[in-house]
Amino acid sequence: MRKLILSVLLITLLLPGGCWDMREINEIGLVMAVGIDKSSRDPNLFWVTVQVANPQGSGSSGGGDKEKNESQVWIASAEGRTIFDAIREIARFSSQRIMWAHNNIIVVGESLAREDITPVIDFFTHNYELRMKTWVAITPLQASDIIKSNAGMGNIPGRAITEVFRFQKLTGLGLPSDLLNVFHDFSDENNHILISRLTLNQALTEAGLANVSENIVEQIEISGMAVFHNTRMLGYLSADEARGLSWFLGEEPNSVISLPHPENSVKAVAVEMRSVHAKIESRLNQDMPEFTIEISGTGHITEEDISSSLTMDEFKSALEGLAEQQIATEVRSSVSKVQKEFRSDVLKFGSTVHVQHKKEWNQDLKYRWAETFPEVEVEVVVNVSIDSSTLNQIPQRNYKERS
């Protein structure tokens, strides 16, 4: 009986006060993408643009007929002294409460990134709603332009970008940068940040065949990467240069390289690289570290643009040599660009030395790494084995030409 009275008392006490954290799903606006720029009016202010999904646009099951033109997303911008301020500003006129949990991408304008990226990283790692696997990107344009534009085939641009990022692995043109990686490199004592670069491209997309000309819309694409030193952005690596890095920094890049045909260097052969593994070895040569980047992978011949009379073995071994050469060149040029132009260790060389030569690093190298890094020797060793020609037993033949 005593228990009963106690529990009834408790419930009556809690009932009127309860439900503090309750918010209905139809009352919240799910942010799909967010862009952060410096305000054009006052450089001290942040200009925040959010793309909020409009559930009514994205299709309800019970609603019956709905207007076709209703937008899938709702875009709003506001400025503020801090990012948080700006977002509160948006809350003043948005009918729904902003929720970050489903955010897909954070786009940072170049002008802000060149000044200092700390506020962005801090705000988004500080926010419990945001998950760490959100993509982060830098754009040379205004971030708000990216947020406003269309992407891919999805209904909601923010979600479509996620897919673009996810399939970036297929092209290998760059390293996907999510908040986790960025935050890791930001807070690490040795590493520096690399973030994907997003631009708009006037790609032809035929969204509807009826009026093709009107459907040439600007599409968001990933191209290259932004290199940071500490908290500031220094510049960009182009898409091809980014691939040079992804050969040894990426997680099993799966990219296609075009090689000159061994018999006719004008025509090309496409080789798809799979299970690429890389290892960075460091040696100390009188206090000066030297690095060897060992890359190994298997190639699959996926396209031959000209028929040939080579045997498969000859063809493969010729291509192996060419592929090794090309990958090595790509890596070398990217590494040297990072070393000489940006002088920022985004290559994990510092960490490698730290792990492999702990004593020397902690005593000495650590303190002069900024000066040492641009000078270190890098050797690239590539080992490609082409072990599949995808369906074909012999290289493409054309007996008419031969006879």
Partner 1 sequence: MEQKISGDLRKDEQYLITTIGQGLDTQYRHLLIPALDSCSALIVYIKGLINITELEDAIIRPLTVPNRIGTEKRVKKITLPDFIKSSLFIAGIKPSQNWTEICDAIVSGNSVLFIDKYPGAFILANTGWESRTISEPTSEVEIRGPKDSFVEDLVPNMALIRRRIRDYGLRFEAMRLGDRTKTDIALVYIEGLTNDEILTELRTRLGKIKIDAIIASNTIEELIEDSKYSIFPKMLRTERPDKATAALLEGRIVLIADNTPFVVIAPTIFWHFLQSPTDYYEKYILGTFWRWIRLLAMFLAVSSSSAYVLLTSFHQEMLPTSLALKIAADRQGVPFPAAIEAFIMEILLEVMNEAGLRLPKALGQTVSIVGTLVIGQAAVQAGLIGPALVIAVATGAIASYAIPSFAMSNTIRLLRFPVLLSSALFGIFGYLGAIIFMTLYLISLRSLGTPYYSPISPYQKDPQKDTLLRAPYTEMKKRPETTRPQDSVRQPGSSGNNN
Partner 2 sequence: MTKVQIDRMQYFLLIPNLLFPKAIGITAGVTARRVGGDAWTAMAIGFAAGTLMLLLIVFLSSRFSKLTIIGIVEQVIGKWPGKLAGLMLAAFFSLGFAVSANVMTLHLKEYFLIETPFLVICLIYILLCMYGVILGIENIIRYALLGFLGCLLINVTMIFGTIGDFEMINLLPLFDRGIVDNLAASIYVFGDLALAAMAIGMIFPMLNDNNKAGRLTFWAMAVSAVIIITWPVLELGVMGAGAMEQYVVVCMQQIRCAQLTRFLPRYELIMVFFFTFSTFVQSATLYFCAMYSIKQISGIKKDWYIVVPLSLVLVPITYFMAKDHNNYVNFLDYPWAQICLAVSLGLPLLLFVMALFSGKLMTASSANNSTGS
142/196 with CB nearer partner 2:
196
Determine if 65 is a binding residue for partner 1 (CB under 8 A).
no
Q: Which of 26, 211, 213, 285 binds partner 1 (CB under 8 A)?
A: 26
Q: Look at residues 84, 18, 20 and name the one whose alpha carbon lies nearest to residue 50.
A: 84
26/69 with CB nearer partner 1:
26
Between CA 225 and CA 230 the distance in angstroms is: 16
Q: How is the beta sheet containing 377-388 ordered, strand by strand?
A: 256-260, 268-285, 288-304, 377-388
Please, which of residues 148-167 interact with partner 1 by CB under 8 A? Answer: 159
Gyration radius from the chain CA atoms: 26
Total count of residues recorded for the chain: 403
Binding partner selected for residue 266 from partner 1, partner 2, none, CB under the kind-specific 5 to 8 Å limit: none
104/168 with CB nearer partner 1:
104
Please, which of residues 72-101 interact with partner 1 by CB under 8 A? Answer: 99, 101
Between CA 104 and CA 162 the distance in angstroms is: 6
Determine if 56 is a binding residue for partner 1 (CB under 8 A).
yes
Between CA 33 and CA 118 the distance in angstroms is: 19
Binding partner selected for residue 56 from partner 1, partner 2, none, CB under the kind-specific 5 to 8 Å limit: partner 1
Determine if 30 is a binding residue for partner 1 (CB under 8 A).
yes
Binding partner selected for residue 119 from partner 2, partner 1, none, CB under the kind-specific 5 to 8 Å limit: none
Tell me the two tokens of residue 322: 């060419």
Cβ 207 to partner 1 shortest distance, Å: 21
Between CA 96 and CA 387 the distance in angstroms is: 56
* Cα pseudo-dihedral 318, 322, 324, 325, rounded to 10: 140
Binding partner selected for residue 58 from partner 1, partner 2, none, CB under the kind-specific 5 to 8 Å limit: partner 1
Q: Where are the beta strands (DSSP E) in 206-361?
A: 219-229, 232-237, 256-260, 268-285, 288-304
> Using DSSP, how many helices (H) and how many strands (E) does the chain show?
14, 13
**Window contacting partner 1 (CB under 8 A); options: 42-50, 54-62, 211-219, 370-378:** 54-62
Triad 396, 402, 403: Cα angle to 5°: 135
Cβ 21 to partner 2 shortest distance, Å: 5
Tell me the two tokens of residue 1: 């009986």
Chain residues that interact with partner 2, rule: CB under 8 A: 10, 14, 17, 20-21, 101, 125, 128, 131-133, 166, 180-181, 183-184, 186-189, 251, 348, 351-352, 354-356, 358, 362
Between CA 92 and CA 73 the distance in angstroms is: 18
Determine if 125 is a binding residue for partner 1 (CB under 8 A).
no
Sites of contact with partner 1 (CB under 8 A): 11, 14-15, 18-19, 21-26, 28, 30, 32, 53, 55-56, 58-63, 99, 101-102, 104, 129, 131, 159
